[in-house]
Structure 1
Amino acid sequence: MTALGFLYPGHSAEDDYPRIEQLLGSDIRVDVVHTDVGEDAHRVDALRQIGTPERLAKGVEQLRLSGAEAVVWACTSGGFVHGWEGAHEQVRTLAVTAGLPASSTSFGFVHAARELGAAKVAVGATYPEDVAGLFAEFLRTGGLEVSAVRGSGSGTAAEVGAWGEAEVFALARAADSPDADAVLLPDTALHTAAHLSALEERLGKPVLTANQVTVWEALRLADRRVNAPGLGALFTREPIVQA
Structure 2
Amino acid sequence: MVSCPTVGIIYPDHAAEDDYPFAAELLGVRIPVAHIYGTDLHAVPELLDLGSPEKLAAGAAKLEAESPDVVVWACTSGSFVYGPDGARNQVEQLSASAGGIPASSTSFAFVEALRALGATRVAVAASYPRDVSELFVEFLRVAGIDVVSFTGAGIETAAQVGTLTSGEVLDLAAANDHPDAQVLLVPDTAMHTLRFLRDIETHVGKPVLTANQVTVWEGLRLAGYNLGRPELGTLFEEGVDHDTR
Q: TM-score under structure 2 normalisation?
A: 0.95
Aligned position for 1:187: 188
Structure 1's unaligned 5+ residue stretches are: none
1:21 is aligned to 2:14 = no
Partner amino acid for 2:125?
A: G
SS in 1 for 2:128: coil
Cα distance in 2, alignment partners of residues 240 and 115 from structure 1: 5
Aligned position for 1:165: 166
Cα distance in 2, alignment partners of residues 149 and 195 from structure 1: 22
Q: Identity across aligned pairs (percent)?
A: 51
* Pairing 1:77-156 to 2, within 5 Å after superposition: 77-99=77-99, 100-156=101-157
Partner amino acid for 1:102?
A: A
* Pairing 1:25-44 to 2, within 5 Å after superposition: 26=28, 28-37=29-38, 39-44=39-44
Cα distance in 2, alignment partners of residues 231 and 241 from structure 1: 15
Gap change, CA 1:197 and 1:97, over 3 Å in 2: same
1:46 is aligned to 2:49 = no
Cα distance in 1, alignment partners of residues 241 and 220 from structure 2: 17
SS in 2 for 1:29: coil
Partner amino acid for 1:22?
A: E
1:11 is aligned to 2:39 = no
Structure 2's unaligned 5+ residue stretches are: none
CA drift at 1:201: 1.2
Cα distance in 2, alignment partners of residues 130 and 21 from structure 1: 34
Cα distance in 1, alignment partners of residues 242 and 69 from structure 2: 25
CA shift digits 1:168-209 (9 cap, x unpaired): 011101210001000001100000011101111121111000
Aligned position for 1:2: 5
Cα distance in 2, alignment partners of residues 74 and 241 from structure 1: 19
Gap change, CA 1:224 and 1:33, over 3 Å in 2: same
CA shift digits 1:108-167 (9 cap, x unpaired): 000001111111010000000111111010001111110110110000001001110121
Cα distance in 2, alignment partners of residues 139 and 112 from structure 1: 12
CA contact (8 A) 1:122 1:146 kept: yes
SS in 1 for 2:144: coil
SS in 1 for 2:8: strand
Cα distance in 2, alignment partners of residues 157 and 222 from structure 1: 28
Q: TM-score under structure 1 normalisation?
A: 0.96
Gap change, CA 1:217 and 1:241, over 3 Å in 2: closer
Q: Give the RMSD, CA atoms, in angstroms.
A: 1.3
Gap change, CA 1:67 and 1:97, over 3 Å in 2: same
CA drift at 1:81: 0.4
